[in-house]
């Protein structure tokens, strides 16, 4: 066992949800949620207290090669205690919840007894283990009833009276569950040999409250094949392990917990946090940084096989899950989050692996926008993901000190520029008249503001969006640098960048409004809507915006868009502004980029602010809401979005890669004054 100095996040309350949500309307709170992952895209997550509220909740949701995609296999696990002096359902007696590192631990206080439950997913394995420990009181019996499903996590909820599995006894009291297409899950207890009682149950129409609130089907028939009864005493833990047949053998459950905690301690050492002193004496600054480093780990995964020549055994492939529990890996999110997830945490080799992996997915000068759940082929409808690739490579080179990747990728990047100059898919190409990059395709959402419902593209932004010009200018300047530094072919990149800069500063500044236009040359002309996308014109390595305009742009963004949780996606004075992100899918999509706050934007706003004002203390104050939020929605994680209006309730995915990445990066950039 290696020395550990892992942060502990405590919620020592009788009802964690009540405390976490005290600033939120009682009828709007989804409650706190926990998450653990296995480095393969699989996860386990659920409500801190009480039953599942989402279709995505489950104790075992592995990412399967066949059938492809993440599948909820154990949606529910009922545990209760029976003794001579009474019987109790554990969830009714929750007294506290904490994260040890990133492992969830529940504390239950029963009459005369204290029990803890904890859960771990062994990294790199298709498995999960849950452990119960009696800390105080007389011995008792623990009843464990698993409920089994075999559905993809985003599929419609089944309402069938007949279970989708076959349950058979395995060795030493284990249970063998044949699900579909040859998929087999094994459940086994520690101590081994406990008899399994085949007394199947059907819980009809189990209600999932958050699915109902989000406008989806919300009733599911849940089936249990039976239960175990296990003796629980001080010093004699009980554990239940679920594995997929064919996964590598695992050791005792205690060793799985120890190995995972050791792995997390090593992550902090790699991030340069090993010398932070005793965990109990760590400053808030150190503790928050350590917490974000562990949060970042959840998103870095070894992807399923996709491109020709890839092998399932290739240890060098890496990708990024954009958000849990429903996003897959997205090109744009991966490139934006790469610096914060990997470079800010010292994981340079994985950053390099991610860049190599995505370079293999380039098609017609474009990176994939996303890989659909369970899909092998990417969807390429994006104008910005590829341009963020240049930014990610730039940050990798600077922070790692490794400049060998640039020559290796340079031919591919040169082809990217060529495709953009001459035109590629989705109307993406340089306008020969001004050198700016246009993008327009009917029915497609090509920028990061990509909400779409059926045929309705909420924010089409067709034409020449402001951040696309900033990214294009930055990419051209970087190509010019790299060609000179490595004596590589130069296709006139600086001259192209000069033209972009001249056109940009002539076309985008609105003196009347005091900020940049959002899109020029759209189907209906120029769009002067106040949006945060202009921040990238002064946050990237090469700012396209002229220096005298930095201060007025930042002043407008701070006054109109900055909130304690990030930047609004639309100015509150704009007619289309939506103050709340709530309701069914149509209502949420209508608000997604029409006022809803995105925390990832705060990283680039702070970059721009520090570039103009050089005031880290003022920038750190912009992150004041972060420590409290880590205890609010996804415990130890950062949410995808927040409401536009106060009190900025967290919404969307409760764990989002670029939210964690950019706030970790910003926290480090302002750490000197903490």
pLDDT digits (tens, 9 = 90+) for 625-650: 999 999 999 999 999 999 999 999 99
Q: Which two tokens mark 633?
A: 């929605």
CB atoms within 10 A of CB 160: 10
pLDDT (tens digit per residue) in 374-386? 777 889 999 999 9
CB atoms within 10 A of CB 133: 17
Phi then psi dihedrals of residue 374, to 5 deg: 80, 0
Among the ranges given (175-179, 181-185, 221-225), the one the predictor scored with the smallest mean pLDDT: 181-185
Q: Which two tokens mark 274?
A: 């090993």
Kindly state the average pLDDT of the residues 237-242. Answer: 98
**What pLDDT is stored for residue 507 in this prediction?**
98
Confidence of residue 283 (pLDDT cuts 50, 70, 90): confident
Q: What is the mean pLDDT of the chain?
A: 92
Confidence of residue 373 (pLDDT cuts 50, 70, 90): confident
Confidence of residue 8 (pLDDT cuts 50, 70, 90): confident
The 3-state DSSP class for residue 501 equals helix
- Determine the Cα–Cα distance for residues 368 and 330; give it in Å rounded to an integer: 7
pLDDT (tens digit per residue) in 430-464? 999 999 999 999 999 999 999 999 999 999 999 99
**What pLDDT is stored for residue 622 in this prediction?**
97
Please list, in sequence order, all residues whose beta carbon lies within 8 angstroms of the beta carbon of residue 442, skipping any fewer than 6 positions away: none
Confidence of residue 19 (pLDDT cuts 50, 70, 90): very low
Closest CA to 103 of 58, 146, 45, 57: 45
Question: 8-269, what's its fold?
Answer: Beta-galactosidase; Chain A, domain 5 (2.70.98)
Kindly state the average pLDDT of the residues 524-537. Answer: 97
Phi then psi dihedrals of residue 520, to 5 deg: -115, 155
**What pLDDT is stored for residue 10 in this prediction?**
78
**What pLDDT is stored for residue 14 in this prediction?**
46
Share of the chain above pLDDT 70, in %: 93
**What pLDDT is stored for residue 305 in this prediction?**
67
Please list, in sequence order, all residues whose beta carbon lies within 8 angstroms of the beta carbon of residue 282, skipping any fewer than 6 positions away: 5, 7, 276, 290
Share of the chain above pLDDT 90, in %: 86
Confidence of residue 181 (pLDDT cuts 50, 70, 90): confident
**What pLDDT is stored for residue 674 in this prediction?**
39
Please give the model's pTM, rounded to 2 decimal places: 0.94
Q: Which two tokens mark 11?
A: 């919620």
392-407 burial: b if 16+ Cβ within 10 Å, else e: bbbbbbeebeeeebbe
Confidence of residue 308 (pLDDT cuts 50, 70, 90): low
Closest CA to 391 of 603, 626, 641: 603
**What pLDDT is stored for residue 18 in this prediction?**
37
């Amino acid at each position: 066992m290696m020395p550990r100095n892992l942060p502990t996040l405590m919620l020592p309350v009788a009802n964690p949800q009540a405390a976490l949500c005290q600033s939120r309307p009682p009828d709007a709170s989804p409650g706190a949620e926990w998450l653990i992952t296995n480095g393969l895209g699989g996860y386990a997550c659920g409500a801190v207290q009480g039953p599942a509220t989402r279709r995505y909740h489950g104790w075992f949701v592995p990412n399967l090669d066949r059938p492809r995609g993440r599948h909820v296999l154990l949606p529910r696990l009922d545990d209760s205690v029976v003794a001579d002096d009474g019987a109790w359902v554990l969830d009714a007696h929750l007294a506290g919840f904490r994260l040890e590192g990133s492992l969830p631990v529940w504390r239950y206080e029963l009459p005369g007894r204290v029990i803890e439950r904890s859960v771990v997913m062994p990294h790199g394995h298709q498995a999960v283990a849950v452990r119960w420990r009696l800390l105080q009181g007389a011995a008792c019996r623990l009843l464990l009833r698993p409920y089994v499903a075999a559905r993809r996590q985003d599929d419609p909820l089944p309402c069938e009276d007949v279970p989708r599995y076959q349950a058979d006894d395995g060795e030493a009291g284990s249970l063998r569950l044949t699900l579909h297409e040859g998929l087999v899950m094994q459940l086994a207890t520690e101590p081994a040999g406990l008899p399994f009682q085949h007394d199947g149950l059907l819980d009809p129409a189990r209600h999932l409250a958050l699915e109902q609130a989000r406008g989806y089907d919300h009733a599911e028939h849940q089936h249990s094949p039976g239960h175990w009864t296990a003796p629980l005493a001080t010093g004699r833990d009980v554990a239940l392990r679920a594995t997929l047949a064919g996964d590598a053998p695992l050791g005792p459950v205690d060793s799985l917990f120890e190995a995972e905690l050791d792995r997390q301690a090593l992550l902090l050492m790699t991030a340069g946090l090993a010398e932070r002193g005793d965990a109990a004496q760590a400053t808030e600054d150190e503790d928050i940084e350590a917490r974000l480093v562990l949060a970042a780990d959840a998103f870095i995964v070894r992807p399923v096989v996709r491109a020709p020549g890839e092998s399932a055994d290739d240890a060098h492939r890496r990708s990024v899950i954009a958000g849990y529990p429903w996003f897959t890996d997205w090109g744009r999110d991966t490139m934006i989050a790469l610096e914060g997830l990997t470079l800010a945490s010292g994981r340079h080799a994985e950053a390099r692996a991610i860049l190599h992996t995505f370079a293999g997915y380039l098609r017609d000068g474009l990176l994939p926008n996303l890989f659909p759940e369970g899909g092998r082929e990417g969807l390429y409808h994006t104008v910005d993901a590829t341009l963020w690739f240049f930014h990610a490579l730039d940050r990798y080179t600077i922070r790692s000190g490794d400049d060998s990747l640039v020559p290796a990728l340079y031919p591919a990047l040169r082809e990217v520029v060529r495709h953009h100059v001459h035109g590629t898919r989705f109307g993406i190409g340089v306008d020969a008249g001004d050198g700016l990059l246009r993008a327009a395709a009917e029915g497609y959402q090509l920028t990061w503001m990509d909400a779409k419902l059926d045929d309705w593209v909420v924010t089409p932004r067709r034409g020449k969006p402001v951040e696309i010009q900033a990214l294009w200018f930055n990419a051209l300047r970087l190509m010019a640098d790299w060609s000179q530094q490595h004596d590589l072919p130069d296709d006139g990149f600086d001259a192209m960048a000069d033209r972009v800069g001249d056109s940009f500063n002539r076309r985008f500044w609105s003196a009347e409004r005091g900020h940049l236009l959002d899109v020029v040359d759209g189907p209906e002309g120029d769009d002067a809507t106040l949006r945060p996308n202009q921040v990238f014109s002064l946050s990237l390595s090469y700012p396209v915006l002229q220096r005298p305009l930095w201060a007025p742009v930042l002043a407008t963004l701070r006054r109109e868009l900055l909130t304690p949780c990030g930047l609004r996606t639309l100015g509150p004075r704009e007619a289309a502004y939506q103050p709340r992100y709530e309701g069914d899918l149509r209502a949420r999509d209508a608000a997604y980029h029409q006022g809803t706050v995105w925390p990832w934007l705060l990283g680039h706003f702070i970059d721009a602010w520090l570039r103009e004002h050089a005031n880290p203390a003022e920038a750190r104050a912009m992150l004041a809401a972060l420590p409290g939020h880590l205890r609010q929605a996804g415990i130890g994680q950062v949410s995808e979005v927040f409401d536009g209006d106060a009190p900025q309730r967290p919404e969307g995915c409760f764990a989002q890669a670029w939210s964690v990445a950019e706030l970790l990066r910003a926290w480090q950039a302002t750490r000197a004054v903490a």
